[in-house]
Amino acid sequence: MINNLPYFVHPNALVESTNIGAKTRIWAFVQVQKDSVIGKDCNLGNGVFVENGVVIGDRVTIKNGISLWEGLTLEDDVFLGPHAVFTNDMFPRSKMHSGNYLRTLIKKGASVGANATVLCGLTLGSYCMIGAGSVVTKSVPDFALVAGNPARFMYWISKTGEKLLFDDNGRASDSKGGRYEIRDLTESKTKIVIEL
């Protein structure tokens, strides 16, 4: 590690924050502003920008060319594909900043495909997956795969990313032995998937 830091910073990166976990790798042409937090064992690819106020959990992979704006929180084990886009202002205007940026939460294990756009103020559920090139305009439940413009629900997936096939009892499993159950939420007339 460079300069006895417990994490790696490429010589062509500009890193102002010192709140960075051990084993994290920050590659060339990355800028990390001082009031951001990056967890352990993360990987930030070339050309990533991390604005003040961004919080990144442990073991997060951020591929090349992504800007992370104030109000964004990434929980542990999140994957962001190349050139994914995030926003923090629903009504942007040049030189007119309200300072009231909407919060966006990407929950544990979620994956966002390459070139997908995620509008602000949303929650992407645990282990959900966003298809490449999708435009996400509403929150996504845990274990859901969504795709398209606007992104629509396609099917339920496991932690491993496999399509879940439920039996007559509403149970499913994945190739690693993970077990899941689909449930109806009567009050909201929606379905959820939980891990057993």
Residue spans of the domains in the chain: they are 2-156
pLDDT at 190: 86
Structure tokens at 195: 């891990």
**Sign (positive or negative) of CA dihedral 125, 192, 135, 81:** positive
**What is the structure's pLDDT at 99?**
73
Q: State residue 186's pLDDT score.
A: 73
Identify the bridge partners of residue 156 per DSSP, sorted by sequence position. Answer: 144
Residue 139 burial (CB count, 10 A): 14
* The model's pTM: 0.94
In sequence order, what E strands does 67-126 have?
A: 67-68, 72-74, 79-80, 85-86, 104-106, 111-112, 117-118, 123-124
Q: Is residue 2 helix, strand or coil?
A: helix
- Number of alpha carbons in the 13 Å side-chain half-sphere of residue 112: 31
Residue 3: per-residue pLDDT: 64
Quote the pLDDT of residue 98.
72
Instruction: Specify whether domain 2-156 bears CATH 1.20.1730.10.
Output: no
Q: Which of 101, 91, 85 is nearest to 136 (CA)?
A: 85
In this prediction, residue 16 carries a pLDDT of 97
Q: Which of 188, 154, 183 is nearest to 170 (CA)?
A: 183
Predicted confidence at residue 22, as pLDDT, reads 97
Low-confidence ranges of the chain (pLDDT < 50): 1
